[in-house]
A and B are shown apart, each in its own frame.
Chain A
Amino acid sequence: MGRYLLRRLLQLVPVFIGTTFLIYWLVWAVPGDPFAGKCGERPCPPGFVAMMTEKFQLDQPLYVQYATYMKNLFQGDFGTTFGGRSINDIIATAYPNTLKLAVVALAIEALIGLTAGVVTGLRRNGFLDNLVLISTLFLIALPIFVIGFVLQWVLGVQLSIIEPTVSSEMRFPELIVPGFVLGSISMAYIARVARTSISENRRSDYVRTAIAKGLPMRRVVGVHLLRNSLIPVVTLLGTDLGALMGGAIVTEGIFQINGIGRIVYRSIVTKESATVVSIVVILVLVYLLMNLLVDLLYAALDPRIRYE
């Protein structure tokens, strides 16, 4: 396990450097004037330009700039908006809300997606199976903002079951619908992948062995079958985290949740590109680390990976 972890970390380093460098280069080096169009409709305030140029050594060669930028990042200094607000502060107030929303979304994904996948994987070709297949296809095909608007309008505006927007207290019941919207696409993928992998593994030799050992059906399915079928689901989660982050920007925008995604959304609308970029870089970092975490989970589930 230790060696596997080390290898994964080493593999992550070039990807990490490459990805962050790519973003940095795109944002600060390609446009010629690094401050063109980064501060809304007007040119950036001279104070902001001077401060950023000094802090990130924008007058130095590209690799020095990048190194300075990363150094600041690792010291926990994410920079400021052109209005002078510390991005650290913004993130500190916003991330708990995003985290709450993400947890609700993940819980819904896991609960509904896995249940639907397992049930239909065990009993294929029934009515329920077709229902799940078609509804997941719909969810996968629908852009997340369409799902968001439709649910907001139907449940919030027409039926008044929920408030169309989430209050600043972020009470749990308010988060169910936004969480469902955010998790909907991953939920559909999870259901489909779980269904396929359950129905493939159901016929496998080791499941037969488990039955032949005289284990109760509950244990055969819940321990032997599920553990193996979870492996592709976990792999899927890794590739899907990025979609979850993109989805958070849209979902928080629609339901007006004061999270990181909404800040990105608002910054786009008010054209504060500098802020957009800083936060997105941080999100990419989180994404890469989460992927590492998923890899570890994957290894924990599948010993064949661990001992490779």
Chain B
Amino acid sequence: MSDPSAASIVSTPPSHEPTEIGGATNAGLPENARREKPRGLLGDAWRDLRRKPLFWISAVFILIFVVMAAFPSLFTSADPTAGNLSRSLEKPSGHAWFGYDIQGQDVFARTIYGANASIVVALLSVIGTLLIGGTMGMIAGYRGGWVDALLSRIADVFFGLPFVLGAIVILTTFNGSGSSNSAWEVKGLVIASLVVLSWPVVMRLMRSSVLATKEADYIVAARALGAGTGRIILKHLLPNCLAPLLVYGTILVGSFIGAEATLSFLGVGLKSPVVSWGIIINEAQNLIRVAPYLLFFPAAFLVAAVLSFVMLGEAVREALDPKLR
């Protein structure tokens, strides 16, 4: 997976006019944009979005994957971990759509159940990244001075670690051989390493939009009217700086699904008996000549999920960027 810190597909949309504060909060969440107002950037963006087939396709896919992650039993009645060696490596059939793996486990069921670990890890990591990066960026941008300098240097240090390399170091240290972490501890470690290595990007994004908004006349006016720091941040800064963050977050979900799979594939991420797409692909890689279907079905799900989030993020970003219209 590409380095999720490569921010190049995310440019910072310009900050919005004060009249659109209320709406801007929903920028990254088109589902919430139903209360559309036929004016301003937000209304335009939503109107633009509604006409994009890519937006609808990716939204539907995401919905399916989320339901799959939450209620896997809706899609399959088979047990993903029930192995039966007598049916090892059976080809796909009407009975088991994706065939059986070397342990005789139902690949379709495993792929369905794999959605949960992949999506939960990605979502939690994104939430963590946005919270930490956003808070740091807000503090650095709002306080400025030595606080900004210090936080920015700390971010530089973490930014200096290439993603996969950094994650390998963290995970081999805490999740290496001999460690007896529970499934949730391992998930926690993967989430932690994704967050630790990705927050600097969000911080920079947040910091620059805070810096750009901070000096806006209406904020200066609010301060002159005696609004407190907390109020200015919550009521004025946050809503304006949230849109680029949420767009980036959406794309990041896709990147993180891929990143988790990459780490599991390398053997440093999640491990059996946890079921995730990365693990299924990792287990299948040595059988690629014998049973390629073991690899392709989970890979197809993985790709579809990553693409859906990335495309949704792209669609929202384009809709929010007036320069592209």
Contact = CB atoms under 8 A, between A and B. Distances in A.
Nearest to B162: A242
Chain A at the B interface: SS class: helix
Contacts of A119: none
B173 A143 contact: no
Nearest to B288: A153
Nearest to A152: B288
A56 to B, nearest CB: 16
B7 to A, nearest CB: 7
Interface string A170-212: 0000000000000001100100110000000000000000000
Nearest 8 A/B pairs, CB to CB: A246-B164, A242-B162, A18-B157, A37-B178, A243-B3, A271-B177, A19-B160, A37-B176
Contacts of B156: 14-15, 18
Interface of B: 1-3, 5-9, 153-154, 156-166, 168-170, 172-174, 176-179, 254, 258-259, 261-262, 265-268, 281, 285, 288-289, 292, 295, 299, 302-303, 306-307, 310-311, 314
A143 B310 contact: no
B157 A19 contact: yes
A146 B254 contact: no
A157 B157 CA distance: 43
A249 B307 contact: no
Interface string A213-256: 00000000000000000000000100111110111011001100
Contact of B306 (A40, A141, A287, A288): A141
A18 B153 contact: yes
B114 to A, nearest CB: 14
Contacts of A138: 307
Contact of B303 (A146, A189, A287): A146
Given A38-B176, A239-B8, A265-B266, A189 B153 contact: no
Contact of A144 (B154, B162, B179, B262): B262
Contacts of A18: 153-154, 156-157, 160
Contacts, number: 182
Nearest to A267: B172
A137 B311 contact: yes
B248 to A, nearest CB: 14
Nearest to B261: A143
Contacts of B5: 239, 242
A144 B1 contact: yes
A142 B5 CA distance: 16
B310 A141 contact: yes
A76 to B, nearest CB: 21
Contacts of B3: 239-240, 242-243, 246
Which residue, B2, B254, B258, B281, has most C-beta atoms of chain A within 10 A? B2
A242 B266 CA distance: 17
A192 B9 contact: yes
Contacts of A239: 3, 5-8
A204 B178 CA distance: 60
28 contacts: A18-B156, A18-B160, A23-B161, A23-B169, A31-B173, A36-B176, A37-B176, A37-B178, A137-B307, A141-B303, A141-B311, A143-B259, A144-B1, A144-B2, A145-B262, A189-B6, A236-B8, A239-B7, A240-B3, A240-B6, A243-B3, A243-B6, A247-B164, A250-B164, A250-B266, A253-B266, A276-B169, A277-B169
A27 B265 contact: no
A157 to B, nearest CB: 6
Interface in A256-286: 264-265, 268-269, 271, 273, 276-277, 280, 283-284
A27 B176 CA distance: 11
Contacts of B266: 249-250, 253, 265, 268
B288 A26 contact: no
Nearest to B299: A146
B9 A189 contact: yes
A189 B157 contact: no
Contact of B178 (A36, A140, A144, A283): A36
Contacts of B178: 36-37, 41
